[in-house]
Amino acid sequence: MTYTSILVEQRGHVGLITLNRPQALNALNRTLLMELMEALEAFDANPEIGAMVISGNEKAFAAGADIKEMAEASAVEMLERDTIGLFDRIRRIKKPVIAAVSGWALGGGCELAMSCDMIIASESARFGQPEITIGVIPGAGGTQRLTRTIGKALAMEMVLNNRTLTAQEALQFGLVNRVVPVERYLEEALTLAEEIASRAPLAVRLAKEAINAALETSLSEGLAAERRNFYLLFATEDQKEGMKAFIEKRKPQWKGK
């Protein structure tokens, strides 16, 4: 598959996708989003891959949806194009996806980072939802995911008044997992992804699914989903191997079965 707006490579058991429109600060146009989702889905289906990392460059993870692509569009055209609908495909990815964020993560860029399972930020990362400054509001989950993650008060300030968060503030408010120097943010994300990729694949998949259930359901439904997944794992060879290896005091050999 040849891509024009992303770079794709395999690093060990990790699929690395680099957003590659530096001249536009990685603005998320339709082509880029389609390529990104195709690459994620291909890695998700590849048994050699255990986790994915999405990165940009030091200056920008992504400065939002491509304003030039939508500036003249009518509501009907926007509805028919449904570019934002492409974002939904990331929700169906079963393997963990980590965002490695440096520089700007604005608008759709911040929403893309929040759609990932974890965020590793460089010290220069800046998170914001500046749509209000161009006469609109977030459209790819910003009002929902920010509010669930950092709370209503700060989400209001960010969305209604373009308050941006520094990397340290994002860490303080629970938006990112950790903040590291710019030179190390990508390696840190790749190392975390490789560590997760070395774990029992079906347990990782069902753990991710259960955590996401916490955001979508009542506590009772979430607990039931968790318990189903826990019991289901006793149908896997990896559960037998993991518990046997513990008792025999050796390292488990995962099969993903």
Catalogue the active-site residues. 65, 108, 111, 131
To ligand CAA, the closest distance from the beta carbon of 212 in angstroms equals 21
Residues 6+ apart with CB under 8 A from 201: 50, 95, 238, 254, 256
State how far Cα 144 lies from the chain centre: 15
**Region from 62-70, 89-97, 184-192, 204-212 binding ligand CAA, contact rule CB under 6 A:** 62-70
**Smaller CB separation from ligand CAA, 15 or 130:** 130
Residues 130-169 within binding reach of ligand CAA (CB under 6 A) = 130-131, 134, 138-140, 142
What is the rounded end-to-end Cα distance, in angstroms, of the chain? 29
Using the 8-state DSSP alphabet, how is residue 141 labeled?
A: S
73 binds ligand CAA (CB under 6 A): no
68 binds ligand CAA (CB under 6 A): yes
Question: What are phi and psi for residue 179, nearest 5 degrees?
Answer: -120, 130
Residues 18-37 within binding reach of ligand CAA (CB under 6 A) = 24-25, 27
Query: Which of 6, 36, 84, 113 touches ligand CAA (CB under 6 A)?
Result: 84
State how far Cα 228 lies from the chain centre: 25
To ligand CAA, the closest distance from the beta carbon of 216 in angstroms equals 21
Quickly count: other Cβ atoms within 10 Å of residue 49's Cβ: 20
Query: Which of 51, 97, 106, 189 touches ligand CAA (CB under 6 A)?
Result: 106
Using the 8-state DSSP alphabet, how is residue 120 labeled?
A: E
**Residue whose C-alpha is closest to residue 9's, from 63, 45, 55:** 55
Instruction: Specify the DSSP element, H or E, that contains 6.
Output: strand 6-11
Which residues contribute to the site for ligand CAA (CB under 6 A)? Answer: 24-25, 27, 63-68, 84, 104, 106-108, 111, 130-131, 134, 138-140, 142
